[in-house]
Amino acid sequence: MEVTSIRQFHQLMESNKLIMLYEGEFTQEITKGVLAMTERNLDKDSVEAGIKKKIYNVMVEVLQNICKHQASSSDDAKTAVFMIGEDEEHFFVISGNTIQQNKIAAIEEKLNLINSKDKDGLKLLFRDLRLSATISEAGGAGLGFVDIARKSESKLKFQFDLIKDDLYYFIFLSTISKHTSENN
Amino acid sequence: METYKINGTEDTPSIILDKTTNTFEISGRSLPEDVVTFYKPTIDWLEAFGNAPNNNFSFDFKLEYFNTASSKIILDILMKLDEVAENKGASITINWHYDKNDDDMQEAGEEYAELVSLPFTFKAQ
């Protein structure tokens, strides 16, 4: 599945089963609420514990990324979208938020680096980033993105769409297979 | 030395640091909004304890889930303990508890074990 524009966001929601959608301001309280609600929904659908844990893991990193991003953004960048959907084979965790052009290059570089790595490469990257990150930048060192790639075991999908001037819309999608990998 | 004890919440772990009973444990979920502030008392306590540590103890991690920011702090705690073992000759074992179905939590423990020289005991439940 490709998400390359805000319009496709809506198509995606229409064509797949939506488990939860939240739009608005993000805080730690909202994060906890979204997590609790999703856990309940996944329990209701009897999702396997290992898969549920992976979804939870990816959600926390995505939600806390948005919280930190919003905290450091000005006025018109305050609302974001977070959704979880599924099709026959996968769960999708998708976020969308506005972003200033000057922040794009660094994020793009991190995500492309992550997508160039295999499982062992990601393990090493995570180890090195965690060792070198100072606590204050632990949130901005890209550890969260690496963790999402490791736990979801799939390539990260992302897109930056121009809104106006130097303001872009950042769409981020991670995919979690409904079938546990047998190769561990 | 005063015992440090806090009860867990849905996004923060329970922590017990008790020199008298030789009990050292972090358990539950760790995804606080601000990890630095949350773990500061723990880091400060270990810093003071490191000057006159117990000779022989286990440190138990019974974490169900932790986010990446917490994972950095856990590494800092392990490195602090590693330093205490090295500098003060304390015999320290890390007990890494995990759910037997949670491969990711087991692997997380194994990755920490590779980074410090403290012995790890893996306890699947």
* Residue contact B36–A184, C-beta within 8 A: no
Per-residue pLDDT, averaged over A26-46, amounts to 90
Query: pLDDT tens, A4-28?
Result: 556 666 666 677 788 888 988 888 9
Mean pLDDT across the stretch B103-107?
Answer: 95
The answer as to whether A62 is a domain residue is yes
- Cα dihedral value B89, B94, A144, A22, nearest 10: -140
Q: How far is B91 from chain A (nearest CA, A)?
A: 24
- The domain of A149 spans 6-177
Yes or no, beta carbons of A60 and B67 under 8 Å apart: yes
**B14 touching chain A per CB within 8 A:** no
Mean pLDDT of all residues in chain B?
96
CA atoms within 13 A on the CB side of A61: 30
Domain residue spans of chain B: 4-124
Q: Which tens digit of pLDDT belongs to each residue from A138-179?
A: 556 689 999 999 999 999 999 999 888 898 989 999 999 998
Q: Which residue of A has its CA nearest to B102?
A: A50
Give tens-digit pLDDT for B28-40. Answer: 999 998 999 999 9
Interface confidence, given as ipTM, is 0.92
Q: Tell me the Ramachandran region of residue A95: left when phi exceeds 0, alpha when psi lies from -120 to 50, beta otherwise.
A: beta
From chain B, pick out residues whose CB is under 8 angstroms from the CB of A66. Answer: none
CATH number where A78 lies: 3.30.565.10
Q: What percent of chain A has pLDDT over 70?
A: 83
Nearest CB among A36, A60, A184 relative to B103 is that of A184
CA dihedral angle for residue B48, residue B57, residue B39, residue B109, rounded to 10 degrees: 140
**C-alpha dihedral, B30 to B36 to B39 to B41, nearest 10°:** -160
A140 touches chain B (CB under 8 A): no
Distance to chain A for B70, nearest Cα, Å: 9
Number of domains in chain A: 1
Whether A54 is in a domain gets the answer: yes
pLDDT band per the 50, 70, 90 thresholds, residue A183 = very low
B20 φ, ψ to 5°?
A: -65, -45
Is pLDDT of A181 > 70? no
Q: What are phi and psi of A138, to 5 degrees?
A: -55, -30
CB contact under 8 A, A61 and B73: no
| In the block, residue with structure tokens 């950042």 | A170
By CB atoms closer than 10 A (0-12, 13-18, 19+), residue A89 is exposed
What CATH number is given for B4-124 in this structure?
A: 3.30.750
Task: Please tell me the least confidently modeled range out of A96-100, A143-147, B29-33, B108-112.
Answer: A96-100
pLDDT tier for residue B115 given thresholds of 50, 70 and 90:
very high
Task: Examine residue A184 and state whether it is found in any structural domain, yes or no.
Answer: no
pLDDT value of position A3:
54
Torsion sign over Cα B122, B36, A61, A128: negative
The per-residue pLDDT for A45 is: 82
Neighboring chain A residues of B31 at a CB cutoff of 8 Å: 60, 64
Over residues B59-73, the pLDDT tens digits come to 999 999 999 999 999
Which residue among A54, A61, A130 sits closest to B72, beta carbon to beta carbon?
Answer: A130
Task: Name which of A53, A57, A130 is nearest B75 (Cβ-Cβ).
Answer: A130
CB contact under 8 A, A138 and B102: no
Domain annotation covers residue A183: no
Does residue A30 belong to any structural domain of this protein? yes
Q: Is the model's pLDDT at A136 over the cut of 80?
A: no
Distance from CA of A123 to the nearest CA of B (A): 9
* B83 has a pLDDT exceeding 60: yes
**Cα-based distances in Å from A54 to A60, A93, B30:** 10, 11, 15
